[in-house]
Structure 1
Amino acid sequence: MLFKLDQTVVFQIIPVLIYIIESSLCKVSETEGEALYLTAGVGESVVFDCALEFPHNVPIPYILQYSKDGIPIFSWSDRKVISTPQYSGRVTPVSDYPKFGKGSVNLTNVRETDAGWYECRLYFPNRSPSSALNGTWYYLEVLGGNLLAVPPTNKTVTEGDTVTFTCITKDKDARVNWYKDEVLLIELEELNARATISPEGSLTITPVSMTDPGNYKCEIINNEGETQQASAYLNVQYKAKILFSPREVYFSYGRPGTLDCHFRANPTLTNLRWEKDGFLFDPYNVQGVFYRRNGSLYFSKVDESHAGEYTCTPYNDLGTEGPSAPIHVVVQRPPIFTITPHNLYLRKTGESIEIPCDALDGDKASRPTIIWSGRTAIRYRGIARLSTAAI
């Protein structure tokens, strides 16, 4: 009886297992049969178009994952990107909606090893089951790799570091030329002095400068004259730094004025500190003074209290290279006339005439320039002398 019971159990379970396995195989086969077939050349880019379908069309927290040949290579969750070393810096989410689905990614600097099966799948960590039947399959075929084996990839480095752009050729006799923003590297003397090209064609720059960001392209030319090109972008990050600062800035009393801080920052500016005469100068606590979007100080109505020595210090996520040199702000009052001409002068034809005019600047420390309009022969201390009078 026990033996018969075991037989019954066995015969009941096996068909179920067979059905599950066969169903899974059929599902995969059907999915791959509906795959999107994509092509791209070595060094080019390709977009994997993937639509996001939420339960009941209500957006909820999710994890977007891409796999190649069954191995996860890229995931995106809450704006956090994780990718394997082979795909690092080459896979980015696409934001061109509605042309592409919200789960689409762009694969740049395609390599021959990128050919194969890919799957886009959406996971919902706060929902059971966490995975829905919303995957999309792709097959990527890589073309045109007759000269270039490994193209360069986008790089982000810090100023002063060393960066290498890979450009490995299949033909050891092929010639490799490098360009920055479509200009031959050998024509850029300052950059070329810091650059070296390895025997296989890769470019190394050391040390990297804040002037180096741009598009770098390697061009391979074989003995038959065939060519192949691939490009990558270099992003150089550095501490916020002052470019220059004027020694003196003149403001007119009672008029608006702007005090600029000339800086560069990558990553972008996070804070800008102003000091006046050695103390923190916070526009939020000074009436009539405001911050511009770029960090400049705007004085709505200048007065003597705004005169002094100012410094600005920019900051970003990497820090700062220090404050600017002191900027001496001078507040000038408008000039004041001390002697003015009469409204009317009467002279006979042929006689000379002298029309006095004098002025001092607002602080009475110096004499401003006086400009006359009319037919004048001599100007001395603002006095106009006409050799002849005319009616």
Structure 2
Amino acid sequence: PVASSLYGSRFLAGELGGSITHQCFYSTTPANKYERKYWCKIAANGVCYTIISSSSFISSEYQGRVALGDVPQNGTFTVTMTGLRSSDSGTYRCGIGSTNEGLYVSLNLTVLADAMMSRPTQLIQGELHGSVTVLCPSGDTQDDQKRFWCKVGRSICTLIASSDGYVGRRYQGRIVITPQDSSGASKVLINDLKKEDSGLYLCGTKGLRSQDSPQEVVLQVATASTIPRRAKFLSGAVGGSLSFQCHHDPKGTYEKKYVCRWKAGSCPVLLDDQGFVLESYRGRIQMSSSDPEHGSFTVLLRQLREEDAGWYWCGFRSGHTELTTSLRLLIHKG
């Protein structure tokens, strides 16, 4: 049986005489890896006629201008069509299976005299309970732009988080859209990954004057995870103190380790390993010990207040990537 997870763009635009490359992403089950991959076009009679398949078939009218490459270890196969003609416009399927009716994603190809080239889809792979970093395209730094992250469904893209503070219910405490850097780019950080987080997403900006073409992102969450499931909740009493551990890969090298306070999709840093402590937390919070060999450090929070209740993140920065974990603090009165 073929596992039912296959993702890919829903729309493609190509230029007359030019070429398009389309990527299909699938879960790397043994059945999917070795099953036939195909690319077909839907005719007026509703039948999807094969153009090319991994079984060495190429339709005679596409000879010399279509190629299919499969990378089973990554769970991707790529179709390239060159020498585009107006007649190539239409609905296609990329799919897996012995027939063209099995597991597939439909997409529309439009061939134009001069098409805007879209960005290639970004493939992000994460592990169950782990975290991912998605680099989002730079927007107009002059424009007051709202950054968004949404999940592509059959007909709509469901908003999950945006930079104005909206976060969907299932993502409370585990997603952040970072502020734009000097180039206008921002990151989407997600942790406590779940199997159902796998899918096709759009990451982009909406401004008052412009809307940039969003970045398509395929997120694959591997269920065979090496990351242990850790406690998500901690409780303490007003006036008391508590400590928690932040865990990272002991083999990783990180230029910055930090703790931040999550609220409405943003996470201001409270303290880091370079000596920074947020003014309002001075004397109350510290990194009490570090155990690099086992990949952890301990954070101590004293003189607990009711308003300390909420979500906290541990973060480890390595280049563009941030490894993050989240936990929720519950505070009760004495």
TM-score range, shorter chain: 0.3 to 0.5
**How high is the TM-score relative to the length of structure 1?**
0.31
**How high is the TM-score relative to the length of structure 2?**
0.35
* Higher share in strand: 2
From the CA coordinates, give the structure whose radius of gyration is larger.
1
Where relative contact order (Cα < 8 A, 6+ residues apart) is larger, the structure is 2
* Higher share in helix: 1
